[in-house]
Amino acid sequence: MSRTFNIACLQTRPMPDINGALTEAMPMVEAAARAGAQMLFLPEYCGGLASDGVRFCPPAAPEDQHPMLASLREFAARRGVWINVGSIALTGPEGKIINRGYMIDDQGGIFGRYDKIHLFDVNLSADTVYRESDTVEPGETACLHDTPLARIGHTICYDLRFPGLFRDLAQAGAEILCCPAAFTKVTGEAHWHVLNRARAIENTCFVVSPCAVGTIHGGGESFGHSLVVSPWGEVLADGGDIPGVIHARLDLDDVAATAARVPSLCHDRPYGMGDSKKREVA
C-alpha cells in the first residue's frame, strides 16, 4: 500500500517582531490547510528575525509564553494538521537565545524539539560578516521526529553544510530530512540548490527546506526558494523569490525504492588517514 501524504512549505518574510511574524504566517497556514496539506513546514526564525548587521537579534520569548508557538499549536488542534515549526527564538541562559524548532502534532501537542547545533559564524567578505554565536546558545542533540505520517530528521539552516548530521539521521531511519532556513541571498544563490539536492541524493531521502525570503530588518536578506527534493535529487517544488506557499505530495515508498537502487547508506566502511607527507618524485 502506497504511503503518500500532502505537505506544504510556507515561504514567509523575516519580520522584525512577533506580531508582524504572526500576521505574515497565519494566512499562509490557513491557505495551506485549506488546500489539503496534512503537514506544514515553516522557515527558521518564523517567529521574527532582525539583525544589527553582524549579530542576529530575533525577538524572543519563553517557550510557554511565545505567541507564535501558541498560535500554531491552537491552529494544529483546530484543523487537525501536523506543523513543523522551523524555529523560533526563545529566551535562553546568560542573556543568549535558543534557536529552537518544534514538531506540533495534530492535537496541538509538542511532539518534539530541536535546538540548532551549527551556528552561522562566517566571513563572506570584508563587509559581510555574521556571528550567530554572539547571541545564540548552540544545541547538542540531533532530533528525529517519528510521526505517524513519516520519520523526519529536523535540522536548521547552517546545519545543511554538515553532511554527517544528515547521514546520522538517515541511518537512524529518517525518510524526510527537513532544513528550515533563513539562508542569506549571497550563499543561497551560490549553494542552496546544490546542497539540498546533495543531502537528498547521498541519503536517499526526501529533503524539505522552507526558507524565508526578503530583506532582514537591520541588515541582510534571505534567499527564498523553499525546496522539496525527491530521494533521487529531483526538485519537486521551488518557492522562487516571493512570499507564498508551495505544495507537494510525497510517496514514502520512493525512499525505499531509491535506497534499493543505490544502497549507499549501507556501504559505509571504516578507514584511516594515509601518510600526509608528500611522496618524493623519482
**Phi-psi category of residue 254: left, alpha or beta, with phi > 0 → left and psi -120 to 50 → alpha:** alpha
Q: Spot the catalytic one: 157, 178, 179, 211.
A: 157
Element (H, E) at 171: helix 163-171
Strand partners, 146: 151
Catalytic annotation present for 185: no
Nearest to 203 by CA among 163, 167, 175: 167
Q: Which of 44, 132, 137, 175 is catalytic?
A: 44
Burial 259-276 (b: 16+ CB within 10 A, else e): beeeeeeeeeeeeeeeee
- The verdict on whether 266 is a catalytic residue reads no
Residue 245, phi then psi, degrees to nearest 5: -130, 135
Which of the following is catalytic: 9, 46, 57, 116? 116
Owner of C-alpha cell 549579530? 55
CA–CA gap between residue 134 and residue 56 (Å, rounded): 8
Q: Nearest Cα to 84, choosing from 102, 98, 67, 72? A: 102
Separation of alpha carbons 159 and 167, rounded Å: 12
Q: Are 110 and 73 in contact (CB under 8 A)?
A: yes
CA distance 223 to 187: 8
Q: Is 116 a catalytic residue?
A: yes
Task: Say how far residue 4 (Cα) sits from the centre of its chain.
Answer: 21
Q: Which residues are identified as catalytic? A: 44, 116, 157
